[in-house]
Chains A and B, each alone.
Chain A
């Protein structure tokens, strides 16, 4: 593999981590969704590059799925949901942007250390890819943990899944079936979560998770 190919793969995976960081501090829902769309677009590019580098045509299909579903359909659908719920003006108070960003940097460092330590035998591209993928997964989890709104938790979950796809395409010889099944499972999770959002909303007039907790009679 030429060093240019390696550098471009590195660049794309790095941009994915960067997009995750951007999602961390978005406090408006529309902005969060837009960054998520960028996130998915970068993922599609990265997967397509992997397809080119590994000369694995089936990965182009994965890239296409990522582009169509994750970068277009899901953000558009979430936009509509937000509009119908009427929460597009809501501002989420993210717990201290500075603190969250510090935590995110710590997570990326941690995933680098872990991955470089446990995969000394793998080839360089896969190693870098896995390290970035783990960072994206951890950042996705961090988004889910720091948000209170159900929609932004869903977005956090989707970005986490993008990290999984990145990891899957980084490993050579991953069969298409696995990717398609992962894509479908995410789609189903999305549908289920969407339905739940409306159910929660019907019952509590809010998708703020605090309403659920209050209903269960608990204190924060």
Chain B
């Protein structure tokens, strides 16, 4: 099992140098993405079979690379297998999409070599079973994804995104390095040894905080999210899909591996920290998303929201496990893992759709799109499913995982701790608010980009995207539907993961009547996705056929109703900014210090009046800007050292040596 997985990863690594050669060939990208497709499908199938038929003995392997006295340890337990499935499902879809999309790449030499290396790095992170391999792979993942972020380096914005990303990635790795350093001080770097050790309460507390910082900065938890909406949209679209849909999940994996697996039994305050970060992340992320006009930035901010939901689920699992209610912990943990899977599906789908739109129109600004449903009907269909799924509407998959999270929240009165009893409903309120905003956000994204009339010439002359991209999107859309109407299968598949991490599992779902899922007890709550789907499909068909039968089915083209002003100019339509204006008025003045400035021209001037909206990122102003200022000040002071004479440098070295020797001697 693990041999197959490792060979596939090796194949991906071997494809990376081949990418340099292939990028100069006319059909090189097809060969490369085809190779990635085969390798990731092999990995996906291997991991899936491991997850479904859990072997008696956890497969593991040690390779003689890395630290000489340690070697590189790999292990494929249920958690690794689940995340391998997520990564490689995303990898398969992205490679399939890129078979078509990647042909239009301007500079394939900047994308092709890094793409397979990036996929391989994510796989190694999940497979690693010692801290050294884990950190090396983690950093390799950061570096390769950075290279992909700056692949379109001619745009100054992308360079800045790459710079901020690199800084935050280094910070995250530093935090993880310290966390593993604390854990390894008593045991060594092997995860098996760390599991067997008994660190003190102070050490475990620090490790939890450091893991939250390290993994959270990669996943995009507020306030460590600043890089994410810059970096994710800057990469080519299939890579954006991987970064948002998959790499943030690798970060979640890192957190789960450290906090649920490597550390001993949790303490209640860990969950408090995670919940207090997760809930606001969800709400703030989606509020940011609502204010954006750039499709890919909306999607990147929405990733922050979903990471908030996942971390809330993990926080709930920690809370219930710490208080001994491990059957509820299993529910919350399964909900979080299911959301990991679901978000990987629909976020990849949405980024691919955004990529298809970008390829067809060259435009990411929603205010310049519109009416694409007529020009790109299949893309529009797939995007619609993605939007419905991410808005957590039944019968699609997003609903199931968020509903399960709320089921766990509703069980919070059973907790003995008063602090958690008060905080968890508040976090639940934040999640509910976030879910509503997400729906608004995706109504805006879909409505403004795909409906209405085209707002620019490029939108008017758009054309449907290629077969491969469409296949990738439609396969993901089908998965969204399947996971929505048959959630029982997926919940049962997650049982070994939940068993290993929180020590209990949710009740078995397969075999219940009518494919219903019952998280706790039938008397309490149940959900049947199939029934909702059949009902919605029947009602929809009935209504459509009734309208077409009873009324005329002849197609008529008529001018759109423009509130009584028959103006042919499409700019008069509802715009993205006007859609989000009410929410901006309510929340924006506090959270974004939003100001609306109306500029009226003097009476004699023919200039049009303008309405400008200024938004500020207060987290950036309050947290990042002061840090940047302090660092800048310090470097200015130290900069003197760069212009010393040779003899002074020699003297500095000499004095440093003497001081160190004195330290040894005294």
Q: Take A213-B645, A218-B645 as given contacts and tell me if A111 and B650 are in contact as well, using a CB distance cutoff of 8 Å.
A: no
Pick from B645, B653, B654, B661: contact of A111, CB below 8 A: B661
Complex Cα spacing A11 to B161, Å: 65
Question: Given the complex, which residues of A lie within 8 Å of B67, measured CB to CB?
Answer: none
A117 touches B665 (CB 8 A): yes
Question: Given the complex, which residues of A lie within 8 Å of B647, measured CB to CB?
Answer: 145, 148, 209
Contact with A along B641-666 (1 / 0, CB 8 A): 00101110011011001100110110
Q: Does A220 contact B (CB under 8 A)?
A: yes
Pick from A113, A118, A145, A216: contact of B643, CB below 8 A: A216
B665 touches A145 (CB 8 A): no
B645 touches A110 (CB 8 A): no
Say what secondary structure dominates the interface of chain A.
helix
Complex Cα spacing A216 to B644, Å: 10
A110 touches B661 (CB 8 A): yes
Question: Given the complex, which residues of A lie within 8 Å of B657, measured CB to CB?
Answer: 138, 141
Contact with B along A144-187 (1 / 0, CB 8 A): 11001000010000000000000000000000000000000000
Pick from B643, B653, B665: contact of A114, CB below 8 A: B665
A145 touches B645 (CB 8 A): no
A144 touches B650 (CB 8 A): yes
Q: Does A124 contact B (CB under 8 A)?
A: no
Complex Cα spacing A145 to B654, Å: 8
Chain A: interface size category: 20 to 34
B654 touches A220 (CB 8 A): no
B654 touches A118 (CB 8 A): no
Question: Given the complex, which residues of B lie within 8 Å of A110, measured CB to CB?
Answer: 658, 661-662, 665
Contact with B along A118-132 (1 / 0, CB 8 A): 100000000000000
- Which B residues from 613 to 666 make CB contacts under 8 A with A? 643, 645-647, 650-651, 653-654, 657-658, 661-662, 664-665
Complex Cα spacing A216 to B665, Å: 39
Q: Which residue of A lies closest to B655 (CB)?
A: A145
Question: Given the complex, which residues of A lie within 8 Å of B643, measured CB to CB?
Answer: 216, 218
Complex Cα spacing A111 to B643, Å: 31
Q: Take A110-B662, A113-B665, A114-B661 as given contacts and tell me if A141 and B645 are in contact as well, using a CB distance cutoff of 8 Å.
A: no
Question: Given the complex, which residues of B lie within 8 Å of A117, measured CB to CB?
Answer: 664-665
Complex Cα spacing A47 to B664, Å: 28
A38 to chain B, nearest CB (A): 24
- Which B residues from 496 to 529 make CB contacts under 8 A with A? none
Q: Does A142 contact B (CB under 8 A)?
A: yes
Q: Take A110-B662, A118-B664 as given contacts and tell me if A220 and B650 are in contact as well, using a CB distance cutoff of 8 Å.
A: no
A145 touches B650 (CB 8 A): yes
Pick from A114, A138, A142, A144: contact of B664, CB below 8 A: A114
Pick from B645, B664, B665: contact of A220, CB below 8 A: B645
Q: Does A68 contact B (CB under 8 A)?
A: no
Complex Cα spacing A218 to B650, Å: 17
Question: Given the complex, which residues of A lie within 8 Å of B646, measured CB to CB?
Answer: 209, 212-213
Complex Cα spacing A77 to B550, Å: 108
Q: Which residue of B lies closest to A212 (CB)?
A: B646
Q: Which residue of B lies closest to A213 (CB)?
A: B645
- 26 A-B pairs (CB sep. < 8 Å): A107-B658, A110-B658, A110-B661, A110-B665, A111-B661, A117-B664, A117-B665, A138-B657, A141-B650, A141-B653, A141-B654, A141-B657, A142-B654, A144-B650, A144-B654, A145-B650, A145-B654, A153-B650, A209-B645, A209-B646, A212-B645, A212-B646, A213-B645, A213-B646, A216-B643, A218-B643
Further 13 A-B residue pairs, CB within 8 A, beyond A117-B665, A142-B654, A144-B650: A107-B658, A114-B665, A118-B664, A144-B654, A145-B647, A145-B651, A145-B654, A148-B647, A153-B650, A209-B646, A212-B645, A212-B646, A218-B645
User: B residues within 8 Å of A by Cβ?
Assistant: 643, 645-647, 650-651, 653-654, 657-658, 661-662, 664-665
10 residue pairs, one from A and one from B, having the closest CB atoms:
A113-B665, A114-B665, A213-B645, A141-B654, A145-B651, A145-B650, A114-B661, A145-B654, A114-B664, A144-B650
